[in-house]
Structure 1
Amino acid sequence: MNNQAQWNSILTFILAMIGLTIGIGNIWRFSYVLYSNGGGSFFIPYVIAIIIMGIPFLILEYGLGFSFKASFSKLMRSIRPEFEIIAWMVVLFVFIVVIYYMVILGWDFVYLLNSFNFGWGDNPASFFTNSVGGSANLANATSFIIPTLTCTLILWVIFWFVSYRDIDKGIGRLSTVLIPLLFILMILIIIYAFTLPNSELGIITLLTPDWSALSNINIWLAAFGQIIFTLSIGQAMVYTYASYLPKNTKLVDEVLLVVVTNSLYEIFVALGVFSILGYMSSISTIPVNELISEGTGLIFVVFPQIFNEMGLMGHIIAPLLFTSILFAGITSSFALFEPMLSSMCDKFGWSRRKGVTILTIVACICSVLLSTGISSHLVEVIDSFVNNFGILILIGAQAIIFGWFYGVEKVIPYLNEFSTIKMGKKWIFIIKYILPILLIAIWIFGLFGLVENSNLFEIVVDLIITVIVVSLSILFTKINRSNNLQK
């Protein structure tokens, strides 16, 4: 299945890669991370993290995917059979992400449908709790939130319809349409945001540097953590997309193009977000720092309040924003789905269509279970565990495996054959020595934060996820070995 799949052009691949990296986190996460970690001074650790971690690891994944052209599980198995279990854990954790990611897109879809007439009313916070995301009250776990359930199911049907096709005809074609549209929509929103009265107040609040923050290790950890998640490094997505590349590809050049595009996008979106917050502060007399919220609170509560105050323009900007989030999210969801699909098709000899259908049904059922009255709380718990514990430690393990057991020197001929910028000893040194240390350190800090802030319910959810991931990883690994023996 994977040996035959291929992008029909480099442009299609680049747009798909941009769609992979630019997700909902760029819109609602980066602005908060930037503001809360030193403002303008945060750009120093941010750029260093891109140079030391983001670009080198992406180049590695591009080289591995392009040269090996097989599923991630097959790659790890070829290095050492015992490493295959790590591959399955990676793709399973990433598959869990797409399950709750589609629920978040379901919330956004509800807001998009309500954005034309401001169906959230005068109290967006109450609307989100009652009609979209629910609350942390576990007594509501047995009831479904119908708008979220309905919109999530619709999105899964659309997802299946696109993924069911060959990689180029489905995801490729959609990316060539949605990514340019996404940029056009965000440019319109940002330009309008810059014209709002007192928008500069928000930008000044965002960019005012706190130079003392640079001596705080947590700021540096936040920068490296942001790069890990914004570029989706070490999650088998980049590797899988690169495995579909045609020959004569300038791998290193394309990495740099994708990284620069992703960074510029999230920086300008942050400026737009804070321009709007500056405007809201001026008309409500509420300080900008009190309006700032992370994630769902910013998009689904604060912004609808702002749209309510905008009048006619609010009815235009609101649909544009929620459409942008939907476009950014859906293109990322395809990438999140692809590593599991690729590995399962390679494992069981499924066709792409069969694999997409089976995995979509499984994922859709799981998303339904996350559409209850504790939807947002459950999504937050799962997201925190999967990203701060599961995926982080596995990225560190990959850095060690690829650097010390596989031998990154093997991919250099593929990287340098057509690329303008050549890789050499400095890149090898970063992969073998710097990245493993950094990634393990970030994981340790993330683990401490997870343990300190977890209650009994969260611990139970974390244990359930761990048992499922480890059990399935062992099962899939053993199935493969028995099949190899028969061959």
Structure 2
Amino acid sequence: MARERLIRENWGTRLGFILAAIGSAVGLGNIWRFPAVAYDNGGGAFLVPYLVALLTAGIPLLIMEFTIGRRFKGSAPVAFRRLNKNAEFIGWWQVAICIVIAAYYAVIIAWAAMYTYYSIGQTWGDSPDGFLFVDFLGAMNAEGEAVGTFDFGTWVPALTVVLAAIWVLTLLIIGAGVRKGIENTAKVFIPLLVVMFGVLVVQALTLDGATAGLDAFFTPDWSALQDSTVWVSAYGQIFFSLSVGFGIMVTYASYLKRKSDITTSAFTVGFANSSFELLAGIGVFSVLGYMALQAGTPIDEQVSDGVGLAFVAFPTIINTMPYAAGLFGVLFFASLVIAGFTSLVSIVQVPVAAVEDRFGVSRLAGTVFVGGGIALLSIVLFPATNGLWLLDTADGFINRYGIAVAALVSIVSVVWIAWKWAELRQDANRTSTIKVGYLWLGALGLVTPAILGWMLFDNIRATIDNEAGVDQNTLVYGWSVAGGALALGVLMALVLRRREVPALVDEEEVEGEAALTAGKEEIQ
């Protein structure tokens, strides 16, 4: 008896796929991480290793993941299993990484959504620092003492409600499907993000001191190029901003039609992501230049990244804006919401698609049970008063010992162990305008794993060196998160080793069969 075939969607248009992939790549890190990384690593000179990293690691890895997804037509676990039966654990490892990231990533979007509203009247008052940690998050008391590490019992009510609303919207979009949900959302949100952030940058450029900020950002320190850590930082920024290494691009590419151009799409997504990072650097440093002028201090004293930049430094700056302060705040935090939200959708799609493809369940069932489970985990853990500690620790360990290591293992497994590089190159070149050859193999098979290996070694060394000054609860929780993701990946692969993958058929194949049948009937 023939197995029942499961019909998988295709992207409606190539533009829809590219916008969705850009939406995944362009996230919070583009706005709050890249400017500080560039400034700390040579300013304008950093753009040289950054561009080299994009061309020798980012885009080659994108091409590999796009090709794996399209060729093997499945989510990460299915695609890696079809590539090699022993590689399925890589896909499930990536699924576990996405579950961890989605759970805490959503709460940052909820913070930004609430700060979008707070911007209208500058609700944070004269002390954005105190407002964030004491009044908003409840992570500290009025005396500045932090809450208990495992204080899970106290939730921040308003944050919980907003976080729940974000999860409802996320699951509705994923449940609507690839074309009606994810693609249509990307077609609206990505142009909106560019327009909003563009307006913000124009406003920032009109501020007094903006020129000094741009000088600080772009003035090259060419001597920095002799420092190996600057080059590693450039590769690190590329790896962590392109959404490579944890199943997203494999999953998205699995919905491509067979004749889609792989390499051109990879170059488009890579350069679009980097262009937005450069735009973010211009906007952020224009504002920091204004802040330095107002405070009468050097610009380097104003530079920060992450939560400190977004939720402390920028509200402080907004308080001193000469005009349209509320509009500037709304534009900034709404941009964070949109950039983060499109990334969140792509992250959650990975585990939902994995369960849908591997177990043959419907999209509705996968969205409700898998997506709903992640949402419940997120809502229970991260709006609590210790949510910031949980978030910061999970983010640090899953990035250093999850994404980077999974990317390294996937490259070595595909290129050197399974020896699939020639097959993938042929498949990509078959439908692509830009052909890849041995330069691609050298970049993907030698340069990228060497850099990722060095980053892993450097991260382990830094963790060991700093272990004495780190709270033991932090180490236990962090290593549990990173190790647990790998353990889940291996366990799922072992459990499912003898279970066949359901027959998955693309819509275009079904349409082709229908057209062929209709043609035969017409002839008869």
| Length-normalised TM-score, structure 2 | 0.89
How far apart, in 2, do the equivalents of 1:11 and 1:328 lie?
A: 18
Q: Which residue of 2 aligns with 1:442?
A: 455
Q: Which residue of 1 aligns with 2:49?
A: 45
Q: For 2:405, give the aligned amino acid.
A: I
Decide which of 269, 274, 288 is 1:277's aligned counterpart: 288
Decide which of 379, 401, 409 is 1:397's aligned counterpart: 409
Q: Which residue of 2 aligns with 1:236?
A: 247
Q: CA deviation at 1:484?
A: 3.9
Q: For 2:496, give the aligned amino acid.
A: N
Q: Which residue of 1 aligns with 2:297?
A: 286
Q: For 1:403, give the aligned amino acid.
A: V
Deviations for 1:455-475, whole angstroms, at most 9, x for unmatched residues?
A: 212111123324532443243
Q: For 1:297, give the aligned amino acid.
A: G
Task: Say which SS state the counterpart of residue 320 (structure 2) adopts.
Answer: helix
Q: Which residue of 2 aligns with 1:372?
A: 384
Matched, 1:144 2:155: yes
The alpha-carbon distance between structure 1 residues 217 and 133, as it changes in their structure 2 partners (threshold 3 A), is: farther
Query: 328-337 vs 473-482, which deviates more?
Result: 473-482
Matched, 1:76 2:85: no
CA contact (8 A) 2:70 2:255 kept: yes
Deviations for 1:21-64, whole angstroms, at most 9, x for unmatched residues?
A: 10011010100100111111111111111111011111111111
Matched, 1:465 2:476: no
How far apart, in 2, do the equivalents of 1:354 and 1:410 lie?
A: 35
1:190-269 matches, within 5 Å, as 190-269=201-280
Query: 118-127 vs 309-318, which deviates more?
Result: 309-318
Task: Say which SS state the counterpart of residue 499 (structure 2) adopts.
Answer: helix
The alpha-carbon distance between structure 1 residues 131 and 6, as it changes in their structure 2 partners (threshold 3 A), is: farther
Aligned positions, number: 487
How far apart, in 1, do the equivalents of 2:97 and 2:438 lie?
A: 32
How far apart, in 1, do the equivalents of 2:14 and 2:133 lie?
A: 44
How far apart, in 1, do the equivalents of 2:502 and 2:396 lie?
A: 41
Q: CA deviation at 1:486?
A: 13
Matched, 1:167 2:150: no
How far apart, in 1, do the equivalents of 2:463 and 2:395 lie?
A: 11
Deviations for 1:265-303, whole angstroms, at most 9, x for unmatched residues?
A: 111111111001111111221321111111111110111
CA contact (8 A) 2:216 2:299 kept: yes
Q: For 2:448, give the aligned amino acid.
A: L
1:300-319 matches, within 5 Å, as 300-319=311-330
Task: Say which SS state the counterpart of residue 139 (structure 1) adopts.
Answer: coil
| Largest Rg, 1 or 2 | 2
The alignment's C-alpha RMSD in Å is 2.0
The alpha-carbon distance between structure 1 residues 205 and 2, as it changes in their structure 2 partners (threshold 3 A), is: farther
How far apart, in 2, do the equivalents of 1:453 and 1:173 lie?
A: 46
Query: 188-197 vs 177-186, which deviates more?
Result: 188-197
CA contact (8 A) 1:2 1:70 kept: no
The alpha-carbon distance between structure 1 residues 247 and 426, as it changes in their structure 2 partners (threshold 3 A), is: same
Aligned-pair identity (%): 31
Deviations for 1:369-398, whole angstroms, at most 9, x for unmatched residues?
A: 111112222211110100011221111111
Matched, 1:424 2:451: no
Q: Which residue of 1 aligns with 2:496?
A: 480
How far apart, in 2, do the equivalents of 1:28 and 1:447 lie?
A: 25
Q: Which residue of 1 aligns with 2:119?
A: 115
Q: Which residue of 1 aligns with 2:333?
A: 322
Q: CA deviation at 1:86?
A: 2.4
Decide which of 123, 132, 140 is 2:136's aligned counterpart: 132
Task: Say which SS state the counterpart of residue 115 (structure 1) adopts.
Answer: helix
How far apart, in 1, do the equivalents of 2:465 and 2:220 lie?
A: 30
Matched, 1:62 2:83: no
The alpha-carbon distance between structure 1 residues 466 and 263, as it changes in their structure 2 partners (threshold 3 A), is: closer
Decide which of 318, 326, 342 is 1:331's aligned counterpart: 342
Task: Say which SS state the counterpart of residue 335 (structure 1) adopts.
Answer: helix
Q: For 1:239, give the aligned amino acid.
A: V
CA contact (8 A) 2:96 2:486 kept: no
Q: CA deviation at 1:162?
A: 1.1
Task: Say which SS state the counterpart of residue 423 (structure 1) adopts.
Answer: coil
Q: For 1:387, give the aligned amino acid.
A: N
Q: CA deviation at 1:206?
A: 1.3
1:82-101 matches, within 5 Å, as 82-101=86-105
Q: For 2:235, give the aligned amino acid.
A: F
Q: Which residue of 1 aligns with 2:422?
A: 409
Task: Say which SS state the counterpart of residue 7 (structure 1) adopts.
Answer: coil
How far apart, in 2, do the equivalents of 1:320 and 1:264 lie?
A: 19
How far apart, in 2, do the equivalents of 1:57 and 1:191 lie?
A: 34
Task: Say which SS state the counterpart of residue 304 (structure 2) adopts.
Answer: coil
How far apart, in 2, do the equivalents of 1:133 and 1:2 lie?
A: 45
Q: For 2:160, give the aligned amino acid.
A: L
Matched, 1:362 2:369: no
CA contact (8 A) 2:102 2:348 kept: yes
CA contact (8 A) 1:66 1:245 kept: yes
Q: For 2:316, give the aligned amino acid.
A: Q
CA contact (8 A) 2:76 2:94 kept: no
Q: CA deviation at 1:413?
A: 2.9
Q: For 2:362, give the aligned amino acid.
A: S
How far apart, in 2, do the equivalents of 1:453 and 1:6 lie?
A: 48
Q: For 2:465, give the aligned amino acid.
A: E
Task: Say which SS state the counterpart of residue 8 (structure 2) adopts.
Answer: coil
CA contact (8 A) 2:10 2:178 kept: yes
Q: Which residue of 1 aligns with 2:510?
A: none
